[in-house]
Chain A
Amino acid sequence: MIKQPCCLCGKESEVSVVVVRNGRKSLSRFCRECTGSDDFPGKVERISGRGSRRRTPEYCPACGYPYRDFREYRFLGCPECYSHFGKEVDRYLKRIHSSLFYKGKTPSRTDPDNLKKGKGLSLSRKPVEK
Chain B
Amino acid sequence: MKRAAKNDACCWEAIERNTSWVLERAASATVVSSRIRIARNLSGFPFPHNMTFRQAVEAENEVWRAFLGFRSSGREIYMLEMNALSEMEKGFLCERHMVSREFTRSSMPCSVAIFPGEKISVMVNEEDHLRIQSFRPGERLEEALLDADRLDDHLSGQLSYAFSGRLGFLTSCPTNIGTGLRASVILHVPGLDVSGRGKEVMKEAGKQGVLVRGFYGEGSRSMGSFYQVSTRETTGKDEKEIIENLQVVVNLTVREESKALLLLSNSKEKMEMERSLKRRLRSSTLSSYAFFSLFSRLVLARKLGIAGFDTEKIGRFLHYALPNHMQLKAGRKMSPEERDEERGRMVRERLRRCIDV
Interface residues of A (CB under 8 A from B): 1-2, 63, 65, 74-79, 82, 89, 92-93, 96-111, 114-121, 123, 125, 127
Closest Cβ–Cβ distance, residue A43 to chain B (whole Å): 25
* Nearest Cβ on chain B to A123's Cβ, whole angstroms: 6
**Which chain A residues lie closer than 8 Å to B158 at the CB level?**
109
B178 contacts A by Cβ under 8 Å: yes
When C-beta atoms are compared, the residue in chain A nearest to B153 turns out to be A108
B157–A108 touching, CB < 8 Å: yes
Return A20 CB to nearest CB of chain B, in Å: 29
Question: A75 and B172: CB pair below 8 A?
Answer: yes
Is there a chain A Cβ closer than 8 Å to B331's Cβ? no
Assess the B157–A105 pair: CB atoms within 8 A: no
- Would you call B172 and A105 a contact (CB within 8 A)? no
Closest A residue to B174 by CB, please name it: A93
B233 within 8 A of A: yes
- CB pair A96–B174 under 8 Å, yes or no, is yes
Which residue on chain A has the smallest CB distance to residue B180? A104
Q: Is A2's CB under 8 angstroms from B45's CB?
A: yes
For residue A101, which residues in chain B have a CB less than 8 angstroms away from its CB? 235-236
B354 at the interface (CB under 8 A from A): no
**A98/B236 in contact, CB under 8 A:** yes
Q: Which 3 A-B pairs have the closest CB atoms?
A: A99-B236, A79-B162, A107-B156
Residues of B within 8 A of A99 (CB): 233, 235-237
Nearest CB on A from B267, distance (A): 42
* Residue B44 is within 8 A (CB to CB) of chain A in the complex: yes
Residue B41, interface by CB 8 Å: yes
What is the number of contacts between chain A and chain B, taking CB atoms within 8 Å? 131
Contacts of A108 in B (CB 8 A): 153, 156-157
| B166 in contact with A102 (CB, 8 Å) | yes
Name the interface residues of B119-163: CB closer than 8 Å to any CB of A.
149, 153, 156-163
Q: Is B255 an interface residue (CB 8 A)?
A: no
Complex-state Cα separation, A104 to B41, whole angstroms: 16
B177 within 8 A of A: yes
Centre residue among A79, A97, A108, A114 by max chain B CB count within 10 A: A79
Check B44 against A109 for contact (C-beta < 8 Å): no
User: Residues of B at under 8 Å CB distance from A?
Assistant: 41, 43-47, 49-50, 55, 58, 149, 153, 156-170, 172-175, 177-179, 181, 233-239, 241
Task: Check B47 against A82 for contact (C-beta < 8 Å).
Answer: no
Q: Which of A97, A111, A116, A118 contacts B43 (CB 8 A)?
A: A111
Residues of A within 8 A of B170 (CB): 79, 82
Of A107, A108, A116, chain B has the most CB atoms within 10 Å of the CB of A107
Decide: A119 and B178 in contact? CB cutoff 8 A. Answer: no
Scoring A1, A78, A96, A106 by chain B CB atoms within 10 A of each residue's CB, the highest score goes to: A78
What chain B residues lie within 8 Å of A2 (beta carbons)?
Answer: 44-46
User: Do B167 and A100 have beta carbons less than 8 Å apart?
Assistant: yes
CB distance from B170 to the nearest CB of A (A): 4
A78:B238 contact, CB within 8 angstroms: no
Contact of A97 among B159, B178, B241 (CB under 8 A): B178
Known: A104-B238, A118-B165. 19 other contacts (CB 8 A): A1-B44, A1-B55, A65-B50, A74-B173, A75-B49, A78-B47, A79-B162, A79-B170, A82-B164, A92-B174, A100-B236, A102-B236, A104-B168, A104-B181, A105-B239, A107-B161, A109-B161, A114-B163, A114-B165
**B156 CB contacts on chain A under 8 angstroms:** 107-110
Of A63, A97, A103, A111, the contact of B177 (CB 8 Å cutoff)? A97
Query: How far is it, in angstroms, between the C-alpha of A92 and the C-alpha of B172 when the chains are bound?
Result: 14
A100 touches B47 (CB 8 A): no
Partner of A109 from B159, B172, B241 at Cβ < 8 Å: B159
A71–chain B nearest beta-carbon distance, Å: 12
Distance (whole angstroms) from the CB of B151 to the closest CB of chain A: 13
Give CA–CA (A32, B236) in the complex, Å: 46
**In the complex, A110 Cα to B168 Cα: how many Å?**
12
A129 to chain B, nearest CB (A): 8
Contact B168 A102 (CB under 8 A): yes
Q: How far is the CA of A92 from the CA of B169 in the complex (A)?
A: 17
Q: How many Å from the CB of B172 to the closest CB on chain A? A: 6
B43 touches A63 (CB 8 A): no
Could you tell me the distance between the alpha carbons of A82 and B177 in the complex, rounded to whole angstroms?
A: 11
Measured in the bound complex, the distance between the Cα atoms of B179 and A105 in whole Å is 7
Query: Could you say which residues of chain B place their CB within 8 Å of the CB of A111?
Result: 43, 160, 163
- Nearest residue in A to B159 (C-beta to C-beta)? A109
B164 contact set on A, CB distance < 8 A: 82, 114-115, 119-121
Check B167 against A123 for contact (C-beta < 8 Å).
yes
